[in-house]
Amino acid sequence: MRRIVFIAIAMFGFGFAMVPFYNAFCEWTGLNGKVKGDPTAVGEYPVDLSREVTVEFLTSLNEGMPLAFRVETSKLKVHPGQYYTVRFYGENLTDRKLVGQAIPSIAPGLYAEHLKKAECFCFAEQEFEPHREREMPVRFVVDPALPGEIKEMTLSYTFFDITDRKQN
């Protein structure tokens, strides 16, 4: 009986310890494309007109998020060092006010630091009035220090419903 209790406690402890190990592993390897939710310190970059990087934009919703979420363009060819603005749209499909938070992810994750956002709806919680659509711009630049072999990047956003959390 002691052996079974010890194994159960060890399994619980191992599962609990996996979260900080996973975060450390992702930070060390650059996997998962985790990005910080704060504005990047932006500045002027030399524009590299001899290079193009295709940036793809993806949108998704966490299950149960009653929102129509889309982007005006799914792909954009950009020159590193030049700023671009892409517009995202969210429409509340319910009769009540919603509060959402968008979580960004960049692939390939090893190069996430080279896509710098000066303005993004993901920096703050977003309020959606009932049956209203709103525009949410993202202003970004691809750092010219991005290695030349990287020709494509993907910026994806997942919206989560945090209405209940805001009311508590």
Is the same domain home to 103 and 73?
Answer: yes
Is the same domain home to 26 and 104?
Answer: no
Segment 30-70, tens digit of pLDDT:
555 455 544 555 678 899 999 999 999 999 998 888 999 99
Q: How far apart are CA 168 and CA 155, in angstroms?
A: 31
Which CATH number fits the domain that encloses residue 96? 2.60.370.10
Is the same domain home to 64 and 76?
Answer: yes
Is the same domain home to 3 and 43?
Answer: no
**25 C-beta neighbours (distance < 10 Å), count:** 12
Segment 91-148, tens digit of pLDDT:
999 999 999 999 999 988 888 889 999 999 999 999 999 999 999 999 999 999 999 9
What's this model's pTM, rounded to 2 decimal places?
A: 0.75
DSSP 37: S
Q: How many structural domains compose the chain?
A: 2
Is the same domain home to 17 and 98?
Answer: no
Is the same domain home to 90 and 126?
Answer: yes
Q: By residue range, what is the domain housing residue 115? A: 35-167
